[in-house]
Structure 1
Amino acid sequence: MADDSAAKTLTAFLGVSRSLSGRAWRQRPADAAVVRAHMQALGLDEVLARALAARGVPADQGADFLTPTLRALFPDPSSFMDMDAAAEAILDALQAKARIHVFADYDVDGAASAALLVRWFRAMGHDLPLYVPDRLTEGYGPSAKAFDTLKAAGADLVITVDCGAAANEALAHAAAIALNVVVIDHHMMRSEPPKALAVVNPNRPGCNSGQGNLAAAGVVFVLLAALNREARRRGLFAERPEPDIRQWLDLAALGAICDVTGLTGFNRALTGLGLKVMSDWRNPGLRALLAAAGAEPGPAKSNHAGFILGPRINAGGRIGRSDLGARLLSTDDPAEAQALAMELDALNLSRREVERAVTEAAVRRVEATGAHVDDSAVIVVAGDDWHPGVVGIVAGRLRERWRKPVVVIGLDPVTGVGKGSGRSQPGMNLGRAIQAAWEAGVLIAGGGHAMAAGLTMDGSRLTELSAFLNDRLAGERIQAIALDALEIDALIDPAAATRALFESFERLAPFGPANPEPAFALSGVQAREPVAMNGGHVRCRLVGPDGAAVRAIAWRCADLPAGQALLSGQGGLSVVGRLKADDWNGRKGVQFEIEDVSDPRMV
């Protein structure tokens, strides 16, 4: 087993230094003075004020956190390196009636980013053609071939969104064929930017915007503000109304949530206000996709974006046509929106089946090697014909299961080329390690974020890649073990797990990285009437010593120690989880979504 000494140095909550999933529990730390300040200034009870302080919200910023506004938090577009140059180049091309195309990544953030630009151009009286590379035949991001295709189609200017910042070679080719490019991105990039008219990226070395947690859709939203400002300066709104970009906040929120960005500061305001715009379901594509999923319209939550809309939009890029998501979010035609939504929903069903098969095969392969329980820093697993559109999802599932970074690679048995994706643990920068592997010549291509990365490689070098990544990340493993503690906001009993408690904590929403969903602990409970469900889920009632109970569910754990403890029906368990609304048949209740389980007899 991996060394857990770092975890044991933490103050154990309920005495849990190692749960059934191998994690330590601790109470989320909060400064007592800040807690009191939030109680006094905002009229909060102590539990909620403590949760606010524990999320790092200073005493003087509580109001902005609970009721964020664009007016208070919107950054100056000029604070982004090259933002003014990008706005000027785009408007120069627009006024010159040049042929402008948008080149987008195939995921939700790319689709939302493209749709934002398409809608702004439409409001300005211009069509903006879409180009989204095919995941299987073209791979990720711009390529020389793609730019040749766009040039042949008559493009004068290409705006890349959610990609391009690290495509130095492809953009050098675009320059060589006299194709102008503006890059709008948020991914990690090399110190030397690609050759372009402008490269806007809050994570670009030297950019002082302080907005590195934005998704690409958030960066594009700021670009729209810069375009409006520059167009206003040029007098372009003398005879046409200025586009009100606030109507498209739902697209910015969609990108932020689905790209799992840190929801703090301006990005929090963008997301929270975007969900309010989404709640009206005015975007024909989102409205049609919600209907295709069988969900009811109503107040939009992060769950709508992350678990209902996002997977279906992504399904086009994963196993279908890559441009379906961007077209869905861009259209104003209800009939077209309905047709696209139905196609994406069907593709999502197919994606689930493909994902299930690859997950099962990958689990068997890893468990046969013992890599899930040894001291390795990262797991690398590959298989023939594993669909590259689902390897990222599978990597995420396995990371959750084994609490260490996982890279899953699908190999083409004919060419021997592998395309893979990885998901990481907090404290381990997988994107940087993958980038280093590319720089060392181990990979054909690779890069990404701290928590997620993608790669292309020669399948014969799998052992070499595994050794490289394990060596590179070994030093970060100890820190990651310490960071893998499960942080808890409050200890409650089943009787306190009410709709009122859930709704009071909803004031902290939207939740995501840097603003985690509140976690509650129950102590000394028994799982009664446990049922193993399809998919490996476990449903039960958690009953306290006084007989009070709350409905509960634990996802994908029936074959794991936590699931086995629940299914055994034993008492005296400690459980950590999150409260979710349970509105089935109008009951207006709550369900406890179990995150982790500890058996005090085994602590």
Structure 2
Amino acid sequence: MLNLIVSTKTQKTWKVLPKVPKKILDRFPELNPTLVQLLYNRKITTQKGVDHFLLPDFGQDLYDPLLLPDIKKVIREIFKFIKEKKKIVVFGDYDVDGVTASVVLSETLKRLGAKVSVYIPDRIKEGYGLNEKVIKGLEKNGTDLIITVDLGVTDFKEIELANKIGMKIIVTDHHHCRKKLPKALAIINPKRKDSKYPFKELTGVGIAFKLSQALIRAASDSKFASKLKAKKPLNIPKVDISQGREKWFLDLVALGTVCDCAPIISENRVFVKYGLKVLEKTQRLGLRELMNLAGIRVEDKVRKISKADELRSSLSTYTLGFQIGPRLNAAGRMDHANSAYYLLNIKREDKVRPLARKLNILNVNRQDLVNKIIGEAKAKLGLTKKAKRIPKILIAYDENWPSGICGLVAGKIMEEYSRPVLIFEKRGNILTGSARSIPTFHITKALEKLSNLLLEFGGHSQAAGMDIRQKNFEEFKKKITKIANKKIKPQDLKEVLKIEKEVEEKSLNIELFDDVARLEPFGEGNPEPKFLIKNVEIVNLRRVGRAENHLKMEIKKNSRYFKAIGFNMVEKCASLRIGKRIDLVFNLICDEWNGARGLELRMVDFVVR
């Protein structure tokens, strides 16, 4: 392990992962040893595991949806409500996961003949989750059943109200469950303590897809329907709906999965791998127009090296998480998520472009606002270059920080300072906040310990939201700081740069890039591999880019020369000079020009020798 300081702001720790044992290398003589090392780093050491990871199969590698808790009951109840022509409302969250889940489930229900509409709350006026005012309004409008997507598992009071007024609620959610569950008609959540579902990391849209898949199969396959163990004959809708049609939802499932920062492993890996291929041919005009505005080019041909490359896409998780996703999320953060929902459903060419451009503009405004608030938050938190001691947890609020932006601000500051961050908007005597945390500090469990001080809260291990009265804020701040001080160790506050393997110059070639590409799609739980090469000499360097904020280098070791590029690294690289020697951490990228392919190294970090 090598410790080094790369800037005046943070200290990074380089950690080269342990070498793969020889017995594992000998098990896969047909694979590049570096690829075996990467698989070993991901705890994949069996032939079956390798096959599942490198060759995910939509038909074979998804779990039976009937393993989800309460799903059999949910299918029976939904069919009953459809048969009786009862009014169903899909109640979704306002982020990309919630919006895509709303589209997937509502479209499925419509195909099954349901009377269904979608309700997405206003982030500013109504806040996260179910709320009593909306439930009363839906009841007046004749709603018989609410099906939540991506929310509801902590909405005790609201579900109790629905029960009192005779309205049924089915919860589908993937957030952290408390010790007790609300008394809903049914709750589908793989994180339930009594859940036997093998994979716990489905997103809201992942669960909506599994439910849709089960509904479609139950309506089209009598053998599958018999597994529902209904005491009475099932009210199966008589509609023309065939199995397999749900695959066209996978572009949305992939989008919601990546944008919710779910680990791209197991079922999520299948969803994203196939979803990227569906996105290449998406039938959704809104997604096409967003890709056009973002300058995303879909290539018809992708170089195929092996059988695994039949699923390789010209698109990537970057396309989803950093180009399409932020534009859709901007609707809920800056305006209303209905705009994103409408864009994903729009069928008219003349309507799609103005709406997509609106979201594009909202996203630009969102970026400017985030940067402004980050500066203000840092000033309030005392995060200056002169700061000698930074608290283990950072907490700040302001009346002029919109709650829709607070999570982004918290995330950026958390990434820079490697510690939990809570950012709040103050509106009247209520503070609405978002938290982002480090892997070693489960923020939602910490909030659970302080639930008596909070109006509402919920989330995951590293992200959460909460409401609190201003009169309780100082006590809350004091107590959560105490929890953080006790739980977080000094080493937890240092950013760890995990390096998959130290390599020599002779192993760096375009064939290695092709082998590494077999691990795509990259994301949470399957990061893009970082490599280390030591003692390389800088032969040439220059600034590139319109703003000259990128650094182009030529480096050599022994007799081998390589191109390297550092995006937005000019300031960090100010000390570099031709002739200096460095240790370099990098990703592999492919430089294609006029049909020729060459290897290039994308700089991640370095230390001058």
State TM-score, norm by structure 2: 0.87
Matched position secondary structure for 1:23 = strand
From 125, 129, 141, give the equivalent of 1:137: 125
Deviation at 1:217, TM superposition (A): 1.0
Task: Assess, with a 3 A threshold, how the Cα gap between structure 1 residues 367 and 496 changes in structure 2: closer, same or farther.
Answer: farther
Matched position secondary structure for 2:404 = coil
Q: Distance in 2 between matches of 1:198 and 1:366?
A: 44
From 509, 520, 524, give the equivalent of 2:535: 524
Letter in 1 for 2:449: A
From 425, 449, 458, give the equivalent of 1:436: 449
Q: Distance in 2 between matches of 1:372 and 1:151?
A: 54
CA root-mean-square deviation: 2.9
Task: Assess, with a 3 A threshold, how the Cα gap between structure 1 residues 170 and 377 changes in structure 2: closer, same or farther.
Answer: same
Contact 1:372 1:402 in 2 (8 A): no
Deviation at 1:218, TM superposition (A): 0.9
In structure 2, the partner of 1:4 is none
From 11, 36, 42, give the equivalent of 1:22: 11
In structure 2, the partner of 1:58 is 45
Q: What is the 5 A alignment of 1:431-580?
A: 431-437=444-450, 439-441=451-453, 443-459=454-470, 461-478=472-489, 481=492, 484-492=495-503, 499-525=510-536, 529=541, 531=543, 538-541=550-553, 543-545=555-557, 548-555=561-568, 562=572, 564-565=574-575, 571-580=580-589
Q: Distance in 2 between matches of 1:588 and 1:517?
A: 20
In structure 2, the partner of 1:323 is 338
Contact 1:428 1:480 in 2 (8 A): no
In structure 2, the partner of 1:74 is 62
Q: Deviations over 1:399-435 (max 9, x none)?
A: 11111121222223xx143222121112111122123
Q: Distance in 2 between matches of 1:512 and 1:340?
A: 29
Q: Distance in 1 between matches of 2:488 and 2:204?
A: 30
Task: Assess, with a 3 A threshold, how the Cα gap between structure 1 residues 570 and 109 changes in structure 2: closer, same or farther.
Answer: farther
In structure 1, the partner of 2:25 is 36
Q: Distance in 2 between matches of 1:570 and 1:400?
A: 33
Letter in 1 for 2:185: L
Matched position secondary structure for 1:440 = helix
Deviation at 1:84, TM superposition (A): 1.0
In structure 2, the partner of 1:427 is 440
Task: Assess, with a 3 A threshold, how the Cα gap between structure 1 residues 462 and 132 changes in structure 2: closer, same or farther.
Answer: same
| Corresponding position: 1:199 with 2:187 | yes
Task: Assess, with a 3 A threshold, how the Cα gap between structure 1 residues 44 and 194 changes in structure 2: closer, same or farther.
Answer: same
Contact 2:430 2:468 in 1 (8 A): yes
Q: Distance in 1 between matches of 2:356 and 2:27?
A: 44
From 191, 194, 215, give the equivalent of 1:227: 215
Task: Assess, with a 3 A threshold, how the Cα gap between structure 1 residues 480 and 97 changes in structure 2: closer, same or farther.
Answer: farther
Contact 2:259 2:321 in 1 (8 A): yes
State TM-score, norm by structure 1: 0.88
| Corresponding position: 1:118 with 2:106 | yes
Contact 1:430 1:452 in 2 (8 A): yes
Q: What is the 5 A alignment of 1:329-478?
A: 329-367=344-382, 374=389, 376-412=391-427, 415-437=428-450, 439-441=451-453, 443-459=454-470, 461-478=472-489
Matched position secondary structure for 1:128 = strand
Q: Distance in 1 between matches of 2:387 and 2:50?
A: 42
Q: Which runs of 5+ in 2 are unaligned?
A: 226-233, 300-313
Q: Distance in 1 between matches of 2:122 and 2:548?
A: 33
Contact 1:167 1:194 in 2 (8 A): yes
Q: Deviations over 1:446-503 (max 9, x none)?
A: 2211111112223455443332222212343228628843211223467866554333
Q: Distance in 1 between matches of 2:386 and 2:72?
A: 49
Matched position secondary structure for 1:220 = helix
Task: Assess, with a 3 A threshold, how the Cα gap between structure 1 residues 503 and 162 changes in structure 2: closer, same or farther.
Answer: same
Q: Distance in 2 between matches of 1:334 and 1:398?
A: 40
Task: Assess, with a 3 A threshold, how the Cα gap between structure 1 residues 482 and 144 changes in structure 2: closer, same or farther.
Answer: closer
Deviation at 1:179, TM superposition (A): 1.4
Letter in 2 for 1:595: V
Aligned residues: 577
Deviation at 1:140, TM superposition (A): 0.6
In structure 1, the partner of 2:33 is 46
Contact 1:285 1:334 in 2 (8 A): no
Contact 1:118 1:127 in 2 (8 A): no
Letter in 2 for 1:24: T
Contact 2:112 2:237 in 1 (8 A): no
Q: Which runs of 5+ in 1 are unaligned?
A: 1-11
From 598, 604, 607, give the equivalent of 1:595: 604
Identity value in percent = 26
Matched position secondary structure for 2:604 = strand
Q: Distance in 2 between matches of 1:507 and 1:551?
A: 22
Matched position secondary structure for 2:56 = coil
Letter in 1 for 2:553: R
Letter in 2 for 1:130: V
Task: Assess, with a 3 A threshold, how the Cα gap between structure 1 residues 303 and 318 changes in structure 2: closer, same or farther.
Answer: same
Q: Deviations over 1:187-240 (max 9, x none)?
A: 012221112111100112211102211111111111112212332434847651
Contact 2:457 2:465 in 1 (8 A): yes
Deviation at 1:542, TM superposition (A): 5.3
Matched position secondary structure for 1:389 = helix
Contact 2:111 2:239 in 1 (8 A): no
Q: Distance in 1 between matches of 2:102 and 2:191?
A: 20
Q: Deviations over 1:30-86 (max 9, x none)?
A: 54156325523xx21101111011111131310111011133222122221111111
Contact 1:34 1:53 in 2 (8 A): no
Q: Distance in 1 between matches of 2:480 and 2:297?
A: 45
Letter in 1 for 2:106: V
Q: Deviations over 1:310-348 (max 9, x none)?
A: 100100000012212222223344443333322211111
Contact 1:34 1:58 in 2 (8 A): no
Matched position secondary structure for 1:575 = strand
Deviation at 1:141, TM superposition (A): 0.8
Matched position secondary structure for 2:372 = helix
Letter in 1 for 2:60: A
Contact 2:96 2:255 in 1 (8 A): yes
| Corresponding position: 1:128 with 2:116 | yes
Contact 2:123 2:404 in 1 (8 A): yes
Contact 2:551 2:570 in 1 (8 A): no
Matched position secondary structure for 2:564 = strand
Task: Assess, with a 3 A threshold, how the Cα gap between structure 1 residues 385 and 581 changes in structure 2: closer, same or farther.
Answer: farther
In structure 2, the partner of 1:5 is none
In structure 1, the partner of 2:295 is 294
Contact 2:16 2:502 in 1 (8 A): no
Letter in 2 for 1:100: I
Deviates more, 1:283-292 or 1:373-382: 373-382
Deviates more, 1:385-394 or 1:69-78: 69-78
In structure 1, the partner of 2:94 is 106
Q: Distance in 1 between matches of 2:455 and 2:205?
A: 28
Q: Distance in 1 between matches of 2:127 and 2:386?
A: 29
Contact 1:494 1:542 in 2 (8 A): no
Deviation at 1:380, TM superposition (A): 1.2
Deviates more, 1:77-86 or 1:482-491: 482-491
Q: Deviations over 1:358-412 (max 9, x none)?
A: 1121223323588975363211122331121111111111111111121222223
Task: Assess, with a 3 A threshold, how the Cα gap between structure 1 residues 565 and 462 changes in structure 2: closer, same or farther.
Answer: farther
Contact 1:432 1:447 in 2 (8 A): no
Contact 2:11 2:494 in 1 (8 A): no
Letter in 2 for 1:465: F
Letter in 1 for 2:276: L
Contact 2:587 2:604 in 1 (8 A): yes
